[in-house]
Amino acid sequence: MISNIKNAFIAALMAGVIITPIYGLQIVRSGMETHIEPEWDLVLIGMGIVFVFQAFIRPTVVHLLGKRSGSFQMPVLNDKARRGSILLLIAIALIWPFFMGRAEVDIATLVLIYVMLGLGLNIVVGFAGLLDLGFVGFYAVGAYTYALLYHWAGWGFWGALPMAGLMAGIFGYLLGFPVLRLRGDYLAIVTLGFGEIIRLLLINLYDYTGGPDGISGIPKPTVFGMPMARRAPEGQTTFHDFMGWQFDNMDVIIYLYLMALALALITLFVSNRVIRMPVGRAWEALREDEIACRSLGLNPTNIKLSAFTMGAVFAGFGGAFFAARQGLVNPESFTFLESALILAIVVLGGMGSQVGVILAAIILTVLPEVAREFAEYRMMIFGLVMVLMMMWRPQGLLPMKRPQVELKS
């Protein structure tokens, strides 16, 4: 007990040193002058919290967890439960937007984009075990492919979408080729480097990409070639005129949502199939023992490349859709923080677990919108959550039980 108190005291002192220069002595500018505004209560509160935590709360929690191990764990889903919950989610997702307001459906569309991105990165990180910190680069390639095709050649969404995936896939292949033989943490940093290089190129190649201002005026997807708008450009019929319906702005929102849902479902389908295919088994084997794989004739670089490229293609699709939804693209949307966010979705959900990733995408997209007053603290909490997740539940919220191939006698 005494040692606990002593440790807690030291911890509180350290907390004091940590908090004081950042929160305890705030630098305030008044006109030309700067002076310090001491806020000692913040420091004392912080020290107090740390003290109480270290002295009383932590030992108690450790004591409790020691007694009842496993009782605080969230359920691990089996196959039937998984399929059931996915079908239920899809059903809800289809019906839901017709009963909701504009803001909700808008956020939902954003969620679906992140579901797509999360599932895409899940293939790279969760299935193949490759830590890609530059995923946002492929996202940017997809978005800018559509933007540039529209800006320079007048292409519409449906024509540009496959091109966006293709370009992102090519980038993924070219980048992956030299890089995938590197060790885990080096791979992470190199991919981060690539992501940043892409962003910096987008900022600096002003003549092609519009530089920091980006490209705007990007059109939304059409319905079978018919624009969904109040008025159609010269020579074209709007979708509503064609159907004889009254135009309502909400319809555009819902349409975008449904398209996003379709893309997300395709991503889900592919991701679901691919782990049950030979390449999925190869990813798993490669994560376990690369040398054994090589001794059996498997080429590790090619196998990793397939995951890397696949993830890139989905990021490309997501990017194109993002461009369509926003109507504009600029390099600011494609920072490292975006990669970190998508990584957090995969990690939080449970690497490899699709339901987990979907859930995490929902949580990480909706919460910041809902808790808007706490916007400043948002990023702080985000970082903290990442650290805490790694400490308490690195396998994610809903770790998946691997789908195993069974031999039936």
Question: What residues numbered 308-347 form the site for other proteins, per CB under 8 A?
Answer: 336-337, 340, 343-344, 347
**Of the candidates 2, 95, 153, 296, which one interacts with other proteins according to CB under 8 A?**
296
**Of the candidates 40, 242, 245, 377, which one interacts with other proteins according to CB under 8 A?**
377
Cα 250 from chain centroid (whole Å): 27
Residue 404 in the binding site for other proteins (CB under 8 A)? yes
Residue 103 in the binding site for other proteins (CB under 8 A)? no
**The token pair that represents 68 in the structure block:** 């009842």
At residue 195, the 3 state secondary structure works out as helix
**Of the candidates 122, 222, 306, 333, which one interacts with other proteins according to CB under 8 A?**
306
Site string for other proteins, 185-224 (x = CB under 8 A): xx-xxx-xxx-xx--xx--x--------------------
* Burial class (CB within 10 angstroms; exposed 0-12, middle 13-18, buried 19+) of 2: exposed
List binders of other proteins among 137-196 (CB under 8 A): 178-179, 182-186, 188-190, 192-194, 196
Residue 243 in the binding site for other proteins (CB under 8 A)? no
Q: Are 310 and 161 in contact (CB under 8 A)?
A: no
Cα–Cα distance, 374 to 383 (Å, whole number): 14
Question: Shortest gap between Cβ of 182 and other proteins (angstroms)?
Answer: 6
Q: State which residue, 305 or 324, has the beta carbon closest to other proteins.
A: 305
Nearest Cα to 119, choosing from 350, 288, 333, 325? 350
Other CB atoms within 10 A of residue 309 CB: 22
Residue 40 in the binding site for other proteins (CB under 8 A)? no
> Which positions ≥6 away from 353 have C-beta within 8 Å?
77, 122, 126, 396, 398, 399, 400
**Of the candidates 22, 76, 87, 370, which one interacts with other proteins according to CB under 8 A?**
22
Cα–Cα distance, 271 to 127 (Å, whole number): 9
Q: State which residue, 247 or 336, has the beta carbon closest to other proteins.
A: 336
**Of the candidates 6, 83, 230, 294, which one interacts with other proteins according to CB under 8 A?**
294
Residue 34 in the binding site for other proteins (CB under 8 A)? yes
Question: Shortest gap between Cβ of 184 and other proteins (angstroms)?
Answer: 5
Cα end-to-end distance, the chain, whole Å: 60
At residue 235, the 3 state secondary structure works out as coil
Residue 277 in the binding site for other proteins (CB under 8 A)? yes
Residue 386 in the binding site for other proteins (CB under 8 A)? yes
Give the range of 76-84, 92-100, 108-116, 399-407 binding other proteins by CB under 8 A: 399-407
| DSSP string of 160-185, one letter each residue | HHHHHHHHHHHHHHHHHHHHTTS-HH
Cα four-point dihedral sign 103, 109, 113, 118? positive
Residue 372 in the binding site for other proteins (CB under 8 A)? no
Cα–Cα distance, 349 to 354 (Å, whole number): 8
Q: How many residues bind other proteins (CB under 8 A)?
A: 83
**Of the candidates 76, 103, 384, 401, which one interacts with other proteins according to CB under 8 A?**
384
At residue 197, the 3 state secondary structure works out as helix
Q: State which residue, 329 or 348, has the beta carbon closest to other proteins.
A: 348
List binders of other proteins among 118-137 (CB under 8 A): 129, 131, 133
Other CB atoms within 10 A of residue 372 CB: 8
